[in-house]
Structure 1
């Protein structure tokens, strides 16, 4: 196989690795917006709940003020009746009514003060929530603008990478391209690796000598049987000598076997004679 095929695959590997990386980056970009949007939604929910609580307090304040007015009126009415008292018994009865009305009035005033304090706290909290929501809305809008710009930049890069890919792929087998792209996706961007000293440099597994020789010849694209990456032969003085010795030893063994078979055939021929 022409060396240019492996050169193309190595060049394509750089393009595809970056392409998949950019695609992942595009998917990651909106996550920062999701976090800010989630915070904004929580603030809005808190504002809604606090507003409902504030309205409920205001309703209670109105009710307490009305009851307090009624209690004050009752006390004043009882006090006005004092001038018409004629007996001790009437005095004691009216005095008790005045004390009860006064006690009720004081209790309502305390309840009113408590609710007024609660209303003030809720009002201040609502103002704070509104300020925070406005700030968060500004942050979300700013983040949306940033995301649009980032995605636009990434899409421009993807378009350029697609052009690079189209320039590299002509002449490459479609089936190999499909496998190569899948390998790069699944193997951390590395789809083609050298074979050195009989070892795949992708998974570092030792490969059979005959397979090593096939890769060295380069007549076909070879895939590592362990990690599925495409292999190309990387010459190395030490590794070359070792692999050559192994192959020569196999050839010698085959020659010896053939010689032994020939000798046995000759012996059988002599015996028959």
Structure 2
């Protein structure tokens, strides 16, 4: 089977080169068609301008004819001036002479304008004729070059076909048919190596069992993703398990770390007594909830003090009442004794 793989590699080079040349041969007429279209467009423009040129020449002939008629009319009216007898006839004839003269001058100006345009079109047509002539010459040279190049490429294709025929004997027709279609559809690549469990044609990781089957080289295997033929390539830097799993690179866990690695073990231990001292310290940061609790406690203390003050005042009032009562009793006893 390894012999078949080597033949397929050789056949791939032959077929890819052959199809590349065939594509170039197919694209050759495109450059020729571009020049042909350019020549056709130039000829069309030349025909249109030539028709316009001929139309201008026709208008010039017509203007000259009308101008000659106006000139003859003017001369005829001038000759009749000697034969007029009345003022009315003179005025009418003078009007005809002036109109004929104005018409003659107008036609003369129009003739000059048309002749200038005709001269410009003549020069333009001469340039067009020169361009057409040069383009036809280039087209002929291009056709000769293309024919020569096409013959050369056809000979190269025939030689490649002969080389392919020397490689294919003994190979299955079905395999050759599939391989030919793959080469055509995959831009000249039909057989690719399988490295570390990954198809190098589509860079997809392949199943373990499939990789083992390819490695055994007992049959021809096609990549299930890109349909290309795959063959196993030994890699000294990778283990068989890595090849089967399709692992490209494995990072060392010791080379990576987290934020916990930045904390020292000694610094992570906190003494309980130090923590209590820190909390009791007036410089220790306190939360807003703690401050609110302290304010509530202060308010309760003030209320209690006010209540105690009120109780003391009531006791003083009671003592004063008792003293007054005792004084009254003493006075009554003294009065009774005196009696």
Q: Please say whether Structure 1 and Structure 2 have the same fold, judged by a TM-score greater than 0.5.
A: yes
SS of 1:194's equivalent in the other structure is: strand
- Rounded to whole Å, the distance in 2 between the matches of 1:31 and 1:39 is 12
Matches within 5 A, 1:18-37: 18-37=17-36
Contact kept, 8 Å, 2:81 with 2:93, in 1: the verdict is: yes
Contact kept, 8 Å, 2:196 with 2:244, in 1: the verdict is: no
**Count of paired positions:** 245
1:14-69 alpha-carbon deviations (Å, 9 max, x no partner)? 00000100000001111111111111001100111111111111111111111111
1:233-255 alpha-carbon deviations (Å, 9 max, x no partner)? 10112434325887xxxxxxxxx
Report the equivalent of 1:191: 190
Gaps (5+ residues) in structure 1?
A: 247-273
1:231 and 2:230 matched = yes
User: Are residues 100 and 184 of structure 1, via their aligned partners in 2, closer, same or farther at CA, if it must alter by over 3 Å?
Assistant: same
Matches within 5 A, 1:180-259: 180-242=179-241
User: Are residues 87 and 110 of structure 1, via their aligned partners in 2, closer, same or farther at CA, if it must alter by over 3 Å?
Assistant: same
SS of 1:206's equivalent in the other structure is: coil
- Rounded to whole Å, the distance in 2 between the matches of 1:238 and 1:178 is 36
Gaps (5+ residues) in structure 2?
A: 246-339
- Rounded to whole Å, the distance in 2 between the matches of 1:180 and 1:49 is 56
Matches within 5 A, 1:138-149: 138-149=137-148
Report the equivalent of 2:163: 164
Contact kept, 8 Å, 1:68 with 1:108, in 2: the verdict is: yes
Q: CA RMSD in A?
A: 1.3
Matches within 5 A, 1:110-149: 110-149=109-148
- Rounded to whole Å, the distance in 2 between the matches of 1:22 and 1:245 is 39
Query: Following TM superposition, by how much is the alpha carbon of 1:203 offset from its aligned partner in structure 2, in angstroms?
Result: 0.5
Higher relative contact order (CA 8 A, sep 6+): 1
Higher helix share: 1
Contact kept, 8 Å, 1:197 with 1:238, in 2: the verdict is: no
- Rounded to whole Å, the distance in 2 between the matches of 1:160 and 1:118 is 62
- Rounded to whole Å, the distance in 1 between the matches of 2:135 and 2:243 is 70
Query: Following TM superposition, by how much is the alpha carbon of 1:122 offset from its aligned partner in structure 2, in angstroms?
Result: 1.3
- Rounded to whole Å, the distance in 1 between the matches of 2:11 and 2:173 is 13
User: Are residues 8 and 240 of structure 1, via their aligned partners in 2, closer, same or farther at CA, if it must alter by over 3 Å?
Assistant: farther
Contact kept, 8 Å, 2:196 with 2:238, in 1: the verdict is: yes
